[in-house]
Structures are given as structure tokens and as C-alpha cells.
Amino acid sequence: MRKKLFFSLFITLFLVTALPYAVSAQDTDYRISLRKDFGYGMGADIRGTFSIRLVGDEEPVEQVTFYIDEKVVGMVNEAPYRLQFHTDDYDLGLHILSAEVKVRDGTTHQTEAIRANFISADKEGKFVSTVLIGVFGAILISFVLIAIIQGFVFKEKKGKNGAQKNQYGLLGGTICPKCAKPFSRHLWGMNLMVGRLDRCDHCGKWVMTTRATSAALQAAEAVEQSETPPADFEIPPEKTLEQRLEDSRYLDQ
């Protein structure tokens, strides 16, 4: 019985004394973060001006010593505990960044290290070029696919009277102010608030467009059809000089 009582008292005493240390360890849990101030950063590859900053409760902190490859690069004695550096000041390649935190009660805490790969300007340029080419390539492919889809979905169809009936795109149709012919507004046109800058399919000129009404489009289509000669219409060849002289004999003198 006494042994059980002694064992229970021992466990209780252990928990009471260990709990404050566990809470203290959690309260003083520090780490560092790497932030880009100006430059390039893609994953672990970085170049330019960056900052190492302490993350955690800054109230009890007295001093923070920052390290790069276990070499002291600076000490900060007041919040915010942050150190700025430029990658060009160090050798190219993989580097280890860490910090030592000194608290007012005299204890010190070592943060977990983070790794960063300092790259050259040439490698940065290649990475940026690759990203830009990929982005613009994706945009270009998207425009081409949209144009193809729009061409199939909104192609011309036959009306009841056999005439061509225009089907305009997602942005509707408009009438060119230059040639007065209707055309579909393109998705790649530039929206300038007052209108959409677009290229006419007929005259090829860039014009400011607004979405036309169905009545206005039908009227423009009717005018366009009246000006278009039938498919079987053939323009007679130009007469020769002899034929024109022969025709002149029948003119009134």
C-alpha cells in the first residue's frame, strides 16, 4: 500500500515539475523565414536581395545572431529581428541559413536551418526566359484554340430562304465603321472601356467596336448580300481594240 502511494506521489510530482518546462519550450519555439525583398526566387533557387527574419514570440528575446554556413553575418538586438543580405556577396551554390536566439532569462535557442541555392545572373535569366516563353506560349495556344472553336461553333449557316445566315461569337457581332460590313468580335480584341479595339475581317483595319443589335446586323447583312455578285456570275473579259472599233460603227454620228 505504501509503495503504491509513494509511486502515485512520484508521478504527480514529476508531472507538476515537467509541465512548466514543456510549456516554456513551446513558448520559446523559434524558427526563421526567408523573404524576397527584390530579385528572383523559384523554390530553393534565389538571387538578389533577401531577408532572414525570426518567427516566434519576440517579447522575451534579447538578441538574435544570424548565420550563413555557420558564419556570423549579423546580430540584431531589437525587434523586428531581421537581417537583409544580397546573394552576390556570397559564393554560388547551396548555403545553410540559421539563427541563434538569446532570451532575457539567459537561455539560448538554435533554430532549424533552411537551405537556399544562390544562383548566377545567367541562370536567373534562363529561368525567367523559360517562364515567360511558357506563359506567352500558353496564351497563344489558348487564343488559337478559342479561334478554332469559335470558327466551328459560330460558322455561317443557311437561313430559310437559302441565304447565308451569320452566327456571331460569344461577344456578339459589330459593324465595321470603315467598310460598313458586319463581323464577329474577337476574344483577342482589347477592351478599352469605351469600346473594344478589334480587327475587321473584311477590310483588315483595326477599329473601335461596340456590340451591335440584331436589327443593325441584319440590315448590314442585307446590304452586304446585295453588293455581293452571285456565285455563278462571271465578269465578261475586256474587249479587244478591234471589237471596240467594230462596235463604234453602230454608234450615232
pLDDT digits over 61-108, tens only? 999 999 999 899 999 999 999 999 999 999 999 999 999 999 999 899
Cell 526567408 appears where?
Answer: 34
CB 211, CB 174: distance < 8 Å? yes
Q: Alpha-carbon Rg of the chain, whole angstroms?
A: 39
- For residues 25 and 101, the answer to whether their CB atoms sit within 8 Å is no
Answer whether residue 167 shows pLDDT above 90.
no
How far apart, in whole angstroms, are the C-alpha atoms of residue 66 and residue 176? 66
* CA distances, 182 to each of 207, 224, 230 (Å): 12, 8, 19
214, burial (CB in 10 Å: exposed 0-12, middle 13-18, buried 19+) = exposed
What pLDDT does residue 24 have? 39
Q: What kind of architecture, by CATH, is found in domain 28-123? A: Sandwich (2.60)
- Residue 145's pLDDT band (boundaries 50, 70, 90)? confident
- What number is the average pLDDT over the span 130-142? 76
In the predicted structure, residue 41 carries a pLDDT above the cut 70:
yes
Q: Where in the chain is the domain with CATH 2.60.40.10?
A: 28-123
For residue 108, the model assigns a pLDDT of: 93
Say if pTM beats, i.e. exceeds, 0.75: no
